Each structure stands twice: as structure tokens, then as C-alpha cells.
């Protein structure tokens, strides 16, 4: 049984349909990249899976349980965590306080303050600093660590490297590498196509709310993904 099953999902904003009949499955331990231009529906899809955006049609099953209309806080307790675009840390709380707040709404598991700080050593010296004083890369790492405090089975990461300096991107992906070693299942939105193809097992390209290309990261070419990204060749590669 797949960990996540999305079946003909529909979601939008009023008359704007941002996600149009998307279906996908995700196995335990798999890493999937979502790519596509701005407005393609990537963020809406992640938010719908997390329960942060209402679903207009279709269904979502997590570990065999229908969560289509389950509220976000209950999905967190079931093992779904979202790292939103822009990090959304509590700016006036310290790093440690941000982590502890997340733990109150999560599920039991291997991740706690000690194990998270061990996994992300960059945060140890910063634990007493307010989140607002951190660099972009440090904030992104803290946001990922905060999500881990809920002990997720599925981690959703929106715009992992957006706006970060190259050195900061390396730091963030070093952190994600720790999660890969732990077998964490992930869906990540990533604008850096080279990075997305290198880090994930599978890639899905969205265009106007639909999946226009899907394939194993090692079997699709950059040219195929780029063509699908811009709607130049929607038949490029396996579906």
C-alpha cells in the first residue's frame, strides 16, 4: 500500500482552479520533486495535502485512511508536516522555542529536541537566538527542524532554496541529506532543476494545475522537463 494516494484532486481560489484533477501516489521513503512555473499549482497541491487548503474535489488517502476533509492539526498528528514557503517561523521566539512549540502538536517518535539538534548541528549554537536574527539559510534549516519535531512520516517542503545564497542552499540540502539517511518520505517544490533531479527519486512537472510530465529522476532529461515546464512539449517523457 502506498503511503499517500491523491486521486483526481481539485482545489482553487474562488473561480480560479489551481489544481485540476491531479492524481499521484507516493511510497514510504520516496522523495518526489514538484517543478513548474509560478502559478502552476505546486503550492496549492502541497497545502491541500497538508490540510491547509480546502479540497474542492477528489480524495486524499494517507496510510490507507481517507484524510480528504481532515483538518490540518489532525493531519500533523497522523504524520503529515508542511515546511511552507517563506519559512513562517515565530520571529520573536528563539530557535529552541520554535522547535518546542511544534512538538506540542505532533506524534511520538524518534525526533525530539536532542535528536533534531544532533541532526542539524548548525542550530545548536543558535538555539537561544531569536528566529528573526537568523540568516535565510539558518531560518530554512530551523523550519525543517521544526517540522521534524512533529515526527512526520511525510514531509512537504515548499520552495526549499528560494531566495537563498548558494552556500545557504548547500547547508539546507546537507540537512535534508540527514533526513534521507533516516528514510523520511518527502515531496519538495524546487526551482533549481539540477538540484531537484539530483536529490529526488521521481519528478513531477505541473502546468496550469495538471501533471504534464512524470518520471524517474534518473530517466528524464533536463530538456524534457524544461519543455514540459513551459508547455512546449507535453508529450515529452513518461506519464
- 72-89: pLDDT as tens digits: 999 999 999 999 887 789
Cell matching residue 124 = 545548536
What's the residue count for the chain? 239
pTM for the whole structure: 0.90
Give the side-chain half-sphere CA count within 13 A for 138: 17
Select 4-229's CATH number: 3.60.10.10, 3.40.50.300, 2.30.30.60, 3.40.190.10.
3.40.50.300
Overall average pLDDT of the 117-137 stretch: 92
Overall average pLDDT of the 162-166 stretch: 81
How far is the first Cα of the chain from the last one, in angstroms, to the nearest whole number?
21
Enumerate the domain spans of the chain.
4-229
Q: Return the pLDDT at 233.
A: 55
Residue 235 has pLDDT above 80, yes or no: no
Residue 118 has pLDDT above 60, yes or no: yes
**Which segments of 104-231 does DSSP mark as H helices, in order?**
113-119, 136-148, 166-181, 193-199, 222-229
Residue 57 has pLDDT above 80, yes or no: yes
Partner residues linked to 62 by β-bridges: 4, 65
Amino acid at each position: 500500500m502506498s503511503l499517500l494516494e491523491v486521486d483526481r484532486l481539485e482545489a482553487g481560489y474562488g473561480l480560479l482552479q489551481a489544481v485540476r484533477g491531479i492524481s499521484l501516489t507516493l511510497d514510504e521513503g520516496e522523495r518526489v520533486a514538484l517543478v513548474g512555473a509560478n502559478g502552476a499549482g505546486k503550492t496549492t497541491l502541497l497545502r491541500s495535502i497538508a490540510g491547509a487548503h480546502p479540497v474542492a474535489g477528489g480524495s486524499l488517502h494517507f496510510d490507507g485512511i481517507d484524510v480528504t476533509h481532515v483538518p490540518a492539526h489532525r493531519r500533523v498528528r497522523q504524520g503529515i508536516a508542511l515546511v511552507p514557503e517563506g519559512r513562517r517561523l515565530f520571529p520573536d521566539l528563539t530557535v529552541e522555542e520554535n522547535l518546542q512549540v511544534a512538538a506540542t502538536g505532533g506524534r511520538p517518535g524518534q525526533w525530539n529536541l536532542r535528536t533534531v539538534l544532533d541532526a542539524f548541528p548548525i542550530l545548536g549554537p543558535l538555539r537561544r537566538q531569536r528566529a528573526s536574527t537568523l540568516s535565510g539559510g539558518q531560518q530554512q534549516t530551523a523550519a525543517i527542524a521544526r517540522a521534524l519535531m512533529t515526527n512526520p512520516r511525510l514531509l512537504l517542503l515548499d520552495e526549499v532554496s528560494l531566495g537563498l545564497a548558494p552556500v545557504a542552499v548547500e547547508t539546507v540540502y546537507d540537512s535534508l541529506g540527514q533526513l534521507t539517511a533516516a528514510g523520511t518520505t518527502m515531496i519538495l517544490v524546487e526551482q533549481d532543476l539540477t538540484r531537484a533531479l539530483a536529490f529526488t527519486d521521481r519528478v513531477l512537472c505541473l502546468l496550469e494545475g495538471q501533471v504534464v510530465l512524470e518520471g524517474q529522476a534518473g530517466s528524464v532529461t533536463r530538456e524534457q522537463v524544461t519543455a514540459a515546464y513551459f508547455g512546449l512539449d507535453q508529450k515529452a517523457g513518461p506519464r
